[in-house]
Amino acid sequence: MSNELTTWMSAHRLDLIGQWADLISEPARAPMLGDSSGDEGLIATLGVTAVSADQLYDMLVLAAGGDYGALNERIHTISHSDDIRDQALNERLSRAFTFRRTLRTLLRNQVSDPTSALGMIDQFDVLFEHMIGILADGWAAHNAAALREREFIAESLNAASAAADQRTLQLKALNDISQHLSASLDRSQLLDLVATNLHRLTDVASIAVWMPPPDGADLLVAAYACGEGADLTLGGKISLAQTKDLTVRAFCSGRIQFEITPDATQQGTWYRDGCGVMALPMLLHEQSIGVVTLQDPNPVQQLRFQQDLAQGVISQAAIAIQNANLYTEVRSLNVELEQRVAERTRELQDEKNRLATINEISTEVSSTLDLDSLLSTSLAVLANISQAEHASIMLVEQDDSSLLVTRAVYGVPASPGNYIRFPIGSGIAGWVAQQRKGTLVDDISTDERWVSIPGGSLRKRQGSMIAVPLLMQGDVLGVITISHREPGFFQEGHMRMLNACAGPIAIGINNANLFQMISAEAERRYELLDRQQTEASQIEAILQNLSDGVIVCDLYGSVLMANQAASDVLGRSVEDLLLWNLHDIISRYLGPRSPDIPLAELIARPLDVNDQRRIFTSIAKVGTRVASMTMGPVLKEDGQLLGALLVVRDITREIEADRLKTEFIGTMSHELRTPMTAIKGFTQLLAMGGLGPLNDTQREFVSTIHANTERMIALINDVLDITKIESGSVDIEWRSLHMAEALSGVMSELQPAIAARSHDLSISIPPGLPLVRADAHRLHQILFNLLSNAVKYTPKGGKIWVEAHEATVADLPDHVRASMTPNKRYAQMNIRDTGVGIDREDMLRIFDRFYRTENPLKIEAGGTGLGLSLVKPLVELLGGRIWVESTLGVGSSFSFVLPAS
């Protein structure tokens, strides 16, 4: 329905729309006045539905026309969405009155007709009051609900703060309990505290604390109870097998058990009919250590609501109990520790005593090397410290290590009866020596090892005893025993101490024995030295008084000793000789004959092939005098070479006597040869019948005279030759000769004899054999003698070899080579036969004058024993050497070498 106002309003839409939209806009997005001037796009939202400013203005125009529907709804909506807490209503009212003022001003200014303007103002005022009314009603209705809500919140807050207060109280109570709990470390006191405080705080009908018994049986025992029926419950037991029992269930599961109406038949006697039950396990490291049961007829109020508190108290209790347990443990540990400390202190004291004893004994032991005083002192110290009544030390007998002999006693008289001896293995001490370990005998009377010694009257079989071995590097030196008449007197500590002391005593005994041994050895050595010195001075005196000169040198030829006789013979002072070397002495006195005494050779090889000392001799001219020199090795008993010994002797007189003798024999032989030659001539004349025919007997006699005369002449010739050699007056006519030539002369002479004895002769002389430098007559003599011997000493029909070849020194036998000049050429001749042979001993003597061996052909062969004694010096005179090899009954081989020319 349109009227004047609606028309006017529609006409003035643009003037009023902004303020209007502002007036009834939504509270969240209330547009500011003036912002929207002329803005078509201004949008106000209500819920999800967007309402434009035009639409809002249309509502006003409709209301002005009497249609309030849309406007009412709009105002209702915004009054509900306004917040009761801010100034929303005031703002709206202020905006409403501002709008009315604007409209009235506009009306007054725009409508020229005052009546019409007033009419429209009145009309609008009706609309305005209606609108204010609705706004106020809507706002009042909306805000009443909000107020109620706020009241409810306030109430809830009050209830919450009351609950918080209660919680604070509970916490305080908990704090108090925990302070109480932490103040005590006594378990039973703790449990009591838990039960009584819980009862006080929760005011439940009855409370019980259940713990497993200390013996670990499968039970729970009511250790504490409070409230109704406490007396009946206290001390009550529940078997862990009763798995339906809430206490047991809580204990085994470790979870809180809460039942408002438990089945009374399944519970133990602790259960009070009609009560709800809460069973709370006491947990330590998720392990139940007990259970607290709370019972009350009003389970929800009294139990469920107190659960947290009860739980808090119980966990505090569990910790306190653990602390109490730990404390108990620590206490018992402490007690144990104290006991141990006391024990250890005692042990250390014992150890100290033991060490003091050992030290005392060690000091004693090291202060003496006298065995008896060492033994008796250590025994006394040991006995004193161990409070033994008797003690003894037995040592292993030196001469017989199977026996133990008492060497020291304590507490009994040192009479012979107490110095016993018995075999190792017998008696307690013998057992200890054999087993090498100590023994503690509490009661000797019951020990089977004990032996009674006849005569050992003081040895009583009673009391206790300790015996320990004295060991040194695993060897038993003896046994120490201590004894007391009281059985069981000695303890392990005594044994330990005795064992510890045995070491130093054994060392002392060993030292004393060693000292004794060393002293004895030193004495023996001193005696030996004394004897050696005496012997040395005796030998020195003997040497100095010897008529033969003696010079001793070391392995290098340095002269170590020379006696006065050596100085006299050699015409030099002893001091001079001591400064020289034996090599110098030999070359100085022997000159070209020095090789006769080869010192270096002797030092290199002091023994010959037969292990005999090699001896070298020579003759030296010392001015007008002659001295013999003999050198041999100085060997120790064990064969070790120390040096060489040269013996010099003045043989001037012997040489002179020899010369005179040789001269005499020479003269005599000459004198004998003249008549012999006459006898030989006359017998030849007689034999030829120059003085008339001879009968057979006469011829035989004459022939014998002739033969003997021939032998005599040969003998005299040999003697003459020997004297010539000895007097050095042999004339030698040196020529280069061939062995074959010399041999042929000999062969022609011996051919008849070889033929007569039917010998098989074999001669071998190689074509290139060097010539020898020799004297023809003497070489003939040598070959003749050797070959005639082979013929004579070989049985008829035997075999003879004559062989020659060239030889060098290296080819010669050792004993020959030693005296030969090396690098020289030689011709060697061997005369071998299958004759009677010569035994070993004879071989050394066949070159001696007149020596003939015993052999089957000795008589048949005849001879004088001078042939070889002539041959040897002749060979050597020609610069050669001769030697023989022979086997008795098999044959002989005579060999000689002569230097090649």
CB of 886 to ligand ADP, least distance (A): 7
Candidates 223, 853, 881, 897: give the one binding ligand ADP (CB under 6 A): 853
Q: How far apart are CA 744 and CA 50, in angstroms?
A: 177
What dihedral angle (degrees, nearest 10) is formed by the CA atoms of 496, 499, 501, 505? 170
* Number of chain positions touching ligand ADP (CB under 6 A): 20
CB of 832 to ligand ADP, least distance (A): 9
**Binding mask 655-674 vs ligand ADP (x if CB under 6 A, - otherwise)?**
--------------------
- Cβ-Cβ contacts under 8 Å for 763 (sequence gap 6 or more): 743, 747, 801, 802, 803
Cα dihedral sign, 209-212-218-221:
negative
Q: How far is CA 447 from the centre of its chain?
A: 44
Candidates 321, 835, 880, 881: give the one binding ligand ADP (CB under 6 A): 835
Candidates 563, 789, 828, 834: give the one binding ligand ADP (CB under 6 A): 789
The yes or no reply on residue 867 touching ligand ADP (CB under 6 A) is yes
Q: Which amino acid is at 579?
A: L
Among candidates 166, 145, 164, 168, which has minimal Cα distance to 156? 164
Residue (559 or 868) nearer to ligand ADP, CB: 868
Residue (172 or 845) nearer to ligand ADP, CB: 845
CB of 682 to ligand ADP, least distance (A): 26
Token pair for 436: 């090498």
Q: How far apart are CA 280 and CA 318, in angstroms?
A: 11
Residue (62 or 715) nearer to ligand ADP, CB: 715
Q: How far apart are CA 11 and CA 538, in angstroms?
A: 179
CB of 880 to ligand ADP, least distance (A): 18
Token pair for 67: 């249609």
CB of 855 to ligand ADP, least distance (A): 6
Q: How far is CA 532 from the centre of its chain?
A: 48
Residue (423 or 865) nearer to ligand ADP, CB: 865
The yes or no reply on residue 874 touching ligand ADP (CB under 6 A) is no
Candidates 484, 852, 872, 881: give the one binding ligand ADP (CB under 6 A): 852
The yes or no reply on residue 202 touching ligand ADP (CB under 6 A) is no
Task: Please give the residue whose beta carbon sits closest to ligand ADP in the complex.
Answer: 863
Residue (107 or 870) nearer to ligand ADP, CB: 870
What dihedral angle (degrees, nearest 10) is formed by the CA atoms of 862, 863, 865, 868? -120
What dihedral angle (degrees, nearest 10) is formed by the CA atoms of 684, 688, 689, 691? -30
CB of 851 to ligand ADP, least distance (A): 6
The yes or no reply on residue 812 touching ligand ADP (CB under 6 A) is no
CB of 787 to ligand ADP, least distance (A): 9
- Cβ-Cβ contacts under 8 Å for 342 (sequence gap 6 or more): none
Q: Which amino acid is at 464?
A: S
Beta bridge partner(s), residue 224: 209
Q: How far apart are CA 781 and CA 670, in angstroms?
A: 20
The yes or no reply on residue 865 touching ligand ADP (CB under 6 A) is yes
Residue (270 or 793) nearer to ligand ADP, CB: 793
CB of 866 to ligand ADP, least distance (A): 6
Supply the Cα-derived Rg of the chain in whole angstroms. 77
Per DSSP, the residues of 881-900 read EEEEEEETTTEEEEEEEEEB
Candidates 375, 812, 833, 895: give the one binding ligand ADP (CB under 6 A): 833
Kindly indicate which of the ranges 12-20, 319-327, 526-534, 784-792 contains the residues binding ligand ADP, using the contact rule CB under 6 A.
Answer: 784-792
Residue (566 or 725) nearer to ligand ADP, CB: 725
- Cβ-Cβ contacts under 8 Å for 339 (sequence gap 6 or more): none
Kindly indicate which of the ranges 31-39, 350-358, 544-552, 860-868 contains the residues binding ligand ADP, using the contact rule CB under 6 A.
Answer: 860-868
CB of 786 to ligand ADP, least distance (A): 7
Candidates 838, 878, 897, 898: give the one binding ligand ADP (CB under 6 A): 838
Q: Which amino acid is at 494?
A: H
Residue ranges with strand state E in 397-452: 403-410, 421-423, 439-441
Candidates 444, 502, 725, 866: give the one binding ligand ADP (CB under 6 A): 866
Token pair for 573: 């002072």
The yes or no reply on residue 784 touching ligand ADP (CB under 6 A) is no
Residue ranges with strand state E in 338-474: 390-396, 403-410, 421-423, 439-441, 464-472
491 with 349: CB under 8 angstroms? no
CB of 680 to ligand ADP, least distance (A): 20
Candidates 24, 88, 174, 836: give the one binding ligand ADP (CB under 6 A): 836
Candidates 16, 597, 746, 846: give the one binding ligand ADP (CB under 6 A): 846
- Cβ-Cβ contacts under 8 Å for 182 (sequence gap 6 or more): 320, 323
**Which positions lie near ligand ADP, rule CB under 6 A?**
785, 789-790, 793, 833, 835-836, 838, 846, 852-853, 855, 863-869, 892
